[in-house]
Structure 1
Protein backbone atom coordinates (compact mmCIF):
# COMPACT_ATOMS: atom_id res chain seq x y z
CA UNK A 1 0.00 0.00 0.00
CA UNK A 2 1.31 3.38 -0.85
CA UNK A 3 2.18 5.98 1.73
CA UNK A 4 -0.69 8.18 0.59
CA UNK A 5 -3.29 5.49 1.35
CA UNK A 6 -2.51 5.47 5.09
CA UNK A 7 -3.86 8.04 7.49
CA UNK A 8 -1.19 10.44 8.63
CA UNK A 9 -1.15 9.96 12.42
CA UNK A 10 0.49 13.32 13.07
CA UNK A 11 -2.20 15.11 11.08
CA UNK A 12 -4.93 13.24 12.97
CA UNK A 13 -3.33 14.12 16.32
CA UNK A 14 -3.01 17.76 15.27
CA UNK A 15 -6.65 17.78 14.16
CA UNK A 16 -7.77 16.16 17.41
CA UNK A 17 -5.76 18.50 19.65
CA UNK A 18 -7.07 21.54 17.75
CA UNK A 19 -10.70 20.56 18.31
CA UNK A 20 -10.29 18.81 21.68
CA UNK A 21 -11.12 21.82 23.85
CA UNK A 22 -14.17 22.71 21.81
CA UNK A 23 -15.36 19.11 21.71
CA UNK A 24 -15.26 18.94 25.52
CA UNK A 25 -17.50 22.00 25.66
CA UNK A 26 -19.84 20.61 23.04
CA UNK A 27 -19.92 16.78 23.32
CA UNK A 28 -23.03 16.73 21.14
CA UNK A 29 -21.02 18.43 18.38
CA UNK A 30 -18.51 15.61 18.45
CA UNK A 31 -21.21 12.95 18.07
CA UNK A 32 -22.84 14.88 15.21
CA UNK A 33 -19.48 15.39 13.50
CA UNK A 34 -18.54 11.72 13.82
CA UNK A 35 -21.91 10.65 12.43
CA UNK A 36 -21.65 13.07 9.48
CA UNK A 37 -18.08 11.95 8.77
CA UNK A 38 -19.08 8.29 8.91
CA UNK A 39 -21.98 8.76 6.54
CA UNK A 40 -19.85 10.76 4.08
CA UNK A 41 -17.17 8.08 4.17
CA UNK A 42 -19.81 5.35 3.64
CA UNK A 43 -21.10 7.21 0.56
CA UNK A 44 -17.51 7.44 -0.70
CA UNK A 45 -16.97 3.70 -0.11
CA UNK A 46 -20.19 2.88 -1.98
CA UNK A 47 -19.01 5.04 -4.88
CA UNK A 48 -15.63 3.24 -4.91
CA UNK A 49 -17.36 -0.16 -4.97
CA UNK A 50 -19.53 1.12 -7.82
CA UNK A 51 -16.43 2.04 -9.82
CA UNK A 52 -14.69 -1.28 -9.10
CA UNK A 53 -14.30 -3.88 -11.84
CA UNK A 54 -17.08 -6.19 -10.63
CA UNK A 55 -20.14 -7.72 -12.23
CA UNK A 56 -23.16 -5.39 -12.10
CA UNK A 57 -25.17 -7.46 -9.62
CA UNK A 58 -22.08 -8.10 -7.47
CA UNK A 59 -21.59 -4.36 -6.85
CA UNK A 60 -24.93 -4.09 -5.07
CA UNK A 61 -24.23 -7.22 -3.06
CA UNK A 62 -20.81 -6.02 -1.91
CA UNK A 63 -22.27 -2.60 -1.00
CA UNK A 64 -24.95 -4.27 1.13
CA UNK A 65 -22.27 -6.20 3.04
CA UNK A 66 -20.54 -3.03 4.29
CA UNK A 67 -21.86 -1.58 7.53
CA UNK A 68 -21.28 1.68 9.33
CA UNK A 69 -20.91 1.31 13.10
CA UNK A 70 -20.78 4.09 15.67
CA UNK A 71 -19.30 4.20 19.16
CA UNK A 72 -21.74 4.05 22.07
CA UNK A 73 -21.11 7.71 22.95
CA UNK A 74 -20.51 8.91 19.40
CA UNK A 75 -16.73 8.85 19.73
CA UNK A 76 -15.93 6.95 16.56
CA UNK A 77 -17.33 5.62 13.31
CA UNK A 78 -16.09 2.45 11.62
CA UNK A 79 -16.79 0.97 8.21
CA UNK A 80 -16.48 -2.80 8.29
CA UNK A 81 -17.82 -5.77 6.36
CA UNK A 82 -20.41 -7.89 8.12
CA UNK A 83 -19.23 -11.08 9.78
CA UNK A 84 -22.03 -13.28 8.42
CA UNK A 85 -21.80 -15.84 5.64
CA UNK A 86 -23.15 -14.85 2.26
CA UNK A 87 -26.60 -16.34 1.77
CA UNK A 88 -27.07 -18.49 -1.29
CA UNK A 89 -30.63 -19.83 -1.19
CA UNK A 90 -30.87 -23.46 -2.23
CA UNK A 91 -27.13 -23.91 -2.71
CA UNK A 92 -24.35 -25.44 -0.65
CA UNK A 93 -22.33 -22.75 1.21
CA UNK A 94 -18.88 -22.02 -0.20
CA UNK A 95 -15.99 -23.13 1.98
CA UNK A 96 -12.31 -22.38 2.29
CA UNK A 97 -10.01 -24.71 4.25
CA UNK A 98 -13.06 -26.49 5.63
CA UNK A 99 -14.67 -23.32 7.05
CA UNK A 100 -17.66 -21.47 5.63
CA UNK A 101 -16.57 -18.38 3.69
CA UNK A 102 -17.67 -15.16 5.38
CA UNK A 103 -18.60 -11.81 3.90
CA UNK A 104 -15.55 -10.35 5.64
CA UNK A 105 -13.23 -12.78 3.82
CA UNK A 106 -14.80 -12.07 0.44
CA UNK A 107 -14.46 -8.32 1.01
CA UNK A 108 -10.81 -8.78 2.02
CA UNK A 109 -10.12 -10.83 -1.12
CA UNK A 110 -11.77 -8.19 -3.30
CA UNK A 111 -9.83 -5.42 -1.56
CA UNK A 112 -6.37 -7.02 -1.64
CA UNK A 113 -6.63 -9.52 -4.48
CA UNK A 114 -6.29 -13.30 -4.40
CA UNK A 115 -4.76 -16.24 -6.18
CA UNK A 116 -6.50 -18.26 -8.90
CA UNK A 117 -6.51 -22.02 -8.72
CA UNK A 118 -5.59 -24.08 -11.73
CA UNK A 119 -8.41 -25.62 -13.71
CA UNK A 120 -8.97 -29.37 -13.65
CA UNK A 121 -7.88 -30.09 -17.23
CA UNK A 122 -9.80 -33.38 -17.27
CA UNK A 123 -13.08 -31.44 -17.34
CA UNK A 124 -14.57 -29.81 -20.43
CA UNK A 125 -15.01 -26.47 -18.65
CA UNK A 126 -11.24 -26.05 -18.41
CA UNK A 127 -11.10 -25.69 -22.19
CA UNK A 128 -14.13 -23.40 -22.58
CA UNK A 129 -13.89 -19.87 -23.97
CA UNK A 130 -15.43 -18.46 -20.75
CA UNK A 131 -12.53 -19.90 -18.76
CA UNK A 132 -9.97 -18.57 -21.23
CA UNK A 133 -11.50 -15.08 -21.14
CA UNK A 134 -11.44 -15.06 -17.35
CA UNK A 135 -7.79 -16.14 -17.33
CA UNK A 136 -6.86 -13.30 -19.67
CA UNK A 137 -8.26 -10.78 -17.16
CA UNK A 138 -6.21 -12.20 -14.29
CA UNK A 139 -2.59 -11.22 -13.78
CA UNK A 140 0.42 -13.48 -13.97
CA UNK A 141 3.14 -13.46 -11.31
CA UNK A 142 6.33 -13.58 -13.36
CA UNK A 143 8.41 -14.98 -10.49
CA UNK A 144 6.19 -17.98 -9.68
CA UNK A 145 4.11 -18.30 -12.86
CA UNK A 146 0.89 -18.38 -10.83
CA UNK A 147 -2.21 -16.44 -11.77
CA UNK A 148 -3.88 -13.94 -9.46
CA UNK A 149 -6.78 -11.50 -9.40
CA UNK A 150 -5.78 -7.90 -8.74
CA UNK A 151 -7.25 -6.15 -5.71
CA UNK A 152 -9.95 -3.51 -6.24
CA UNK A 153 -8.66 -1.43 -3.28
CA UNK A 154 -11.96 0.37 -2.60
CA UNK A 155 -11.23 0.61 1.14
CA UNK A 156 -7.73 1.97 0.47
CA UNK A 157 -9.01 4.72 -1.83
CA UNK A 158 -11.75 5.62 0.63
CA UNK A 159 -9.28 5.84 3.51
CA UNK A 160 -7.43 8.63 1.73
CA UNK A 161 -10.52 10.86 1.86
CA UNK A 162 -11.67 9.95 5.40
CA UNK A 163 -9.60 12.68 7.04
CA UNK A 164 -11.04 15.33 4.72
CA UNK A 165 -14.54 14.15 5.59
CA UNK A 166 -13.68 14.35 9.32
CA UNK A 167 -12.44 17.93 9.09
CA UNK A 168 -15.43 19.06 7.02
CA UNK A 169 -17.91 17.37 9.37
CA UNK A 170 -16.24 18.85 12.47
CA UNK A 171 -16.34 22.35 11.01
CA UNK A 172 -20.00 22.04 10.04
CA UNK A 173 -21.04 20.60 13.41
CA UNK A 174 -19.21 23.27 15.39
CA UNK A 175 -20.70 26.05 13.27
CA UNK A 176 -24.19 24.71 13.92
CA UNK A 177 -23.61 24.38 17.66
CA UNK A 178 -21.96 27.78 17.85
CA UNK A 179 -25.04 29.34 16.24
CA UNK A 180 -27.34 27.47 18.67
CA UNK A 181 -25.35 28.44 21.74
CA UNK A 182 -24.88 32.02 20.52
CA UNK A 183 -21.07 31.88 20.69
Structure 2
Protein backbone atom coordinates (compact mmCIF):
# COMPACT_ATOMS: atom_id res chain seq x y z
CA UNK A 1 0.00 0.00 0.00
CA UNK A 2 2.94 2.28 0.65
CA UNK A 3 4.40 1.73 -2.83
CA UNK A 4 1.50 3.38 -4.76
CA UNK A 5 1.58 6.43 -2.45
CA UNK A 6 5.36 6.75 -2.90
CA UNK A 7 5.00 6.48 -6.67
CA UNK A 8 2.35 9.20 -6.75
CA UNK A 9 4.48 11.45 -4.55
CA UNK A 10 7.49 10.93 -6.83
CA UNK A 11 5.45 11.81 -9.92
CA UNK A 12 4.09 14.91 -8.20
CA UNK A 13 7.62 16.06 -7.34
CA UNK A 14 8.81 15.50 -10.92
CA UNK A 15 5.83 17.42 -12.30
CA UNK A 16 6.36 20.29 -9.86
CA UNK A 17 9.99 20.62 -10.86
CA UNK A 18 9.22 20.64 -14.55
CA UNK A 19 10.70 17.26 -15.36
CA UNK A 20 8.17 15.37 -17.43
CA UNK A 21 10.42 12.99 -19.22
CA UNK A 22 9.23 14.40 -22.56
CA UNK A 23 11.64 15.94 -25.04
CA UNK A 24 12.03 19.49 -23.73
CA UNK A 25 13.13 20.77 -27.13
CA UNK A 26 9.60 20.28 -28.44
CA UNK A 27 7.70 23.57 -28.19
CA UNK A 28 4.50 23.42 -26.19
CA UNK A 29 1.34 23.05 -28.19
CA UNK A 30 -0.56 26.30 -28.48
CA UNK A 31 -4.31 26.18 -28.72
CA UNK A 32 -6.18 29.19 -29.95
CA UNK A 33 -8.72 30.70 -27.63
CA UNK A 34 -12.21 30.81 -29.06
CA UNK A 35 -12.98 34.08 -30.77
CA UNK A 36 -14.68 36.55 -28.47
CA UNK A 37 -18.24 37.32 -29.39
CA UNK A 38 -18.93 41.04 -29.14
CA UNK A 39 -21.60 42.00 -26.66
CA UNK A 40 -24.84 43.15 -28.24
CA UNK A 41 -25.18 46.91 -28.48
CA UNK A 42 -28.21 48.46 -26.83
CA UNK A 43 -30.81 49.63 -29.28
CA UNK A 44 -31.35 52.96 -27.59
CA UNK A 45 -28.95 55.79 -28.08
CA UNK A 46 -27.81 57.71 -25.03
CA UNK A 47 -29.04 61.26 -24.58
CA UNK A 48 -26.56 63.82 -25.81
CA UNK A 49 -24.39 65.29 -23.12
CA UNK A 50 -24.85 68.98 -22.38
CA UNK A 51 -22.59 71.12 -24.51
CA UNK A 52 -19.67 72.48 -22.52
CA UNK A 53 -19.73 76.25 -22.34
CA UNK A 54 -17.69 78.70 -20.34
CA UNK A 55 -19.11 79.60 -16.93
CA UNK A 56 -21.57 82.44 -17.27
CA UNK A 57 -22.11 81.84 -20.99
CA UNK A 58 -25.60 80.92 -22.24
CA UNK A 59 -26.18 77.21 -22.81
CA UNK A 60 -27.79 75.99 -26.05
CA UNK A 61 -30.08 73.67 -24.02
CA UNK A 62 -31.94 76.77 -22.81
CA UNK A 63 -32.26 78.56 -26.18
CA UNK A 64 -36.00 77.84 -26.50
CA UNK A 65 -36.86 79.15 -23.02
CA UNK A 66 -38.28 82.62 -22.43
CA UNK A 67 -35.94 85.45 -21.37
CA UNK A 68 -34.04 85.69 -19.07
CA UNK A 69 -33.85 81.90 -18.73
CA UNK A 70 -32.69 81.40 -22.33
CA UNK A 71 -29.46 83.20 -21.42
CA UNK A 72 -28.76 81.00 -18.38
CA UNK A 73 -25.94 78.49 -18.00
CA UNK A 74 -26.80 74.77 -17.70
CA UNK A 75 -23.76 73.89 -15.57
CA UNK A 76 -24.59 76.63 -13.07
CA UNK A 77 -28.23 75.51 -12.93
CA UNK A 78 -27.27 71.89 -12.39
CA UNK A 79 -24.74 72.87 -9.71
CA UNK A 80 -27.27 75.10 -7.95
CA UNK A 81 -29.87 72.30 -8.01
CA UNK A 82 -27.54 70.30 -5.75
CA UNK A 83 -28.85 72.58 -2.98
CA UNK A 84 -32.34 71.23 -3.69
CA UNK A 85 -31.80 67.56 -4.53
CA UNK A 86 -31.70 66.28 -0.97
CA UNK A 87 -35.36 67.31 -0.63
CA UNK A 88 -36.73 67.32 -4.20
CA UNK A 89 -36.81 64.96 -7.18
CA UNK A 90 -37.47 66.06 -10.77
CA UNK A 91 -38.29 62.81 -12.59
CA UNK A 92 -41.89 62.11 -13.51
CA UNK A 93 -43.41 59.56 -11.14
CA UNK A 94 -40.34 59.50 -8.88
CA UNK A 95 -42.35 60.26 -5.76
CA UNK A 96 -41.69 62.80 -3.04
CA UNK A 97 -38.90 63.28 -0.54
CA UNK A 98 -39.02 65.83 2.27
CA UNK A 99 -40.28 68.25 -0.40
CA UNK A 100 -42.64 67.53 -3.27
CA UNK A 101 -41.54 66.14 -6.62
CA UNK A 102 -40.92 69.08 -8.94
CA UNK A 103 -41.86 67.36 -12.21
CA UNK A 104 -44.70 69.31 -13.77
CA UNK A 105 -44.15 72.21 -11.36
CA UNK A 106 -44.65 74.96 -13.95
CA UNK A 107 -48.33 75.55 -14.57
CA UNK A 108 -49.39 73.67 -11.42
CA UNK A 109 -51.42 75.33 -8.68
CA UNK A 110 -49.33 75.92 -5.58
CA UNK A 111 -49.79 73.30 -2.86
CA UNK A 112 -51.73 70.90 -5.09
CA UNK A 113 -49.50 67.90 -5.85
CA UNK A 114 -51.48 64.80 -4.82
CA UNK A 115 -49.84 62.73 -2.12
CA UNK A 116 -47.76 65.49 -0.56
CA UNK A 117 -48.67 67.04 2.81
CA UNK A 118 -48.17 70.77 2.29
CA UNK A 119 -48.13 73.40 5.03
CA UNK A 120 -51.27 75.49 5.51
CA UNK A 121 -49.38 78.44 4.01
CA UNK A 122 -49.01 76.58 0.71
CA UNK A 123 -52.44 74.96 0.62
CA UNK A 124 -54.07 78.35 1.30
CA UNK A 125 -51.92 80.23 -1.24
CA UNK A 126 -53.56 81.11 -4.53
CA UNK A 127 -51.21 81.19 -7.50
CA UNK A 128 -49.91 79.01 -10.30
CA UNK A 129 -46.21 78.14 -10.33
CA UNK A 130 -44.62 80.12 -13.14
CA UNK A 131 -40.95 81.05 -13.50
CA UNK A 132 -41.41 84.53 -12.03
CA UNK A 133 -43.13 83.10 -8.92
CA UNK A 134 -40.36 80.55 -8.50
CA UNK A 135 -37.77 83.34 -8.80
CA UNK A 136 -39.40 85.23 -5.93
CA UNK A 137 -39.77 82.01 -3.91
CA UNK A 138 -36.13 81.04 -4.40
CA UNK A 139 -34.95 84.48 -3.32
CA UNK A 140 -36.25 83.81 0.20
CA UNK A 141 -38.98 81.17 0.64
CA UNK A 142 -39.87 82.17 4.21
CA UNK A 143 -40.32 85.84 3.31
CA UNK A 144 -42.21 85.08 0.08
CA UNK A 145 -44.76 82.84 1.77
CA UNK A 146 -44.59 83.11 5.58
CA UNK A 147 -45.56 79.94 7.41
CA UNK A 148 -44.22 77.47 4.85
CA UNK A 149 -42.08 74.60 6.15
CA UNK A 150 -39.27 74.83 3.60
CA UNK A 151 -36.09 75.33 5.60
CA UNK A 152 -33.99 76.88 2.86
CA UNK A 153 -32.34 80.29 3.06
CA UNK A 154 -32.71 80.96 -0.66
CA UNK A 155 -30.46 81.54 -3.66
CA UNK A 156 -28.92 84.99 -3.35
CA UNK A 157 -27.41 85.57 -6.81
CA UNK A 158 -29.96 86.42 -9.52
CA UNK A 159 -27.84 84.67 -12.19
CA UNK A 160 -27.82 81.47 -10.10
CA UNK A 161 -31.61 81.68 -9.65
CA UNK A 162 -32.10 82.18 -13.39
CA UNK A 163 -29.85 79.18 -14.11
CA UNK A 164 -31.64 77.04 -11.51
CA UNK A 165 -35.06 77.98 -12.88
CA UNK A 166 -33.91 77.27 -16.45
CA UNK A 167 -32.49 73.92 -15.30
CA UNK A 168 -35.80 73.07 -13.61
CA UNK A 169 -37.74 74.12 -16.69
CA UNK A 170 -35.65 71.70 -18.74
CA UNK A 171 -35.74 68.84 -16.21
CA UNK A 172 -39.39 68.97 -15.12
CA UNK A 173 -41.33 68.92 -18.37
CA UNK A 174 -41.87 72.67 -18.75
CA UNK A 175 -44.04 73.88 -21.60
CA UNK A 176 -44.36 77.56 -22.44
CA UNK A 177 -47.39 79.37 -21.02
CA UNK A 178 -48.65 82.89 -20.46
CA UNK A 179 -47.10 84.66 -17.50
CA UNK A 180 -43.62 83.20 -18.03
CA UNK A 181 -41.90 86.53 -18.39
CA UNK A 182 -40.66 88.10 -15.17
CA UNK A 183 -42.47 91.12 -13.81
CA UNK A 184 -40.64 94.28 -14.75
TM over 0.5: no
Structure with more of its chain in helix, by fraction: 1
TM-score computed with the length of structure 2 as normaliser: 0.27
Structure with higher strand content? 1
Structure with greater Cα Rg = 2
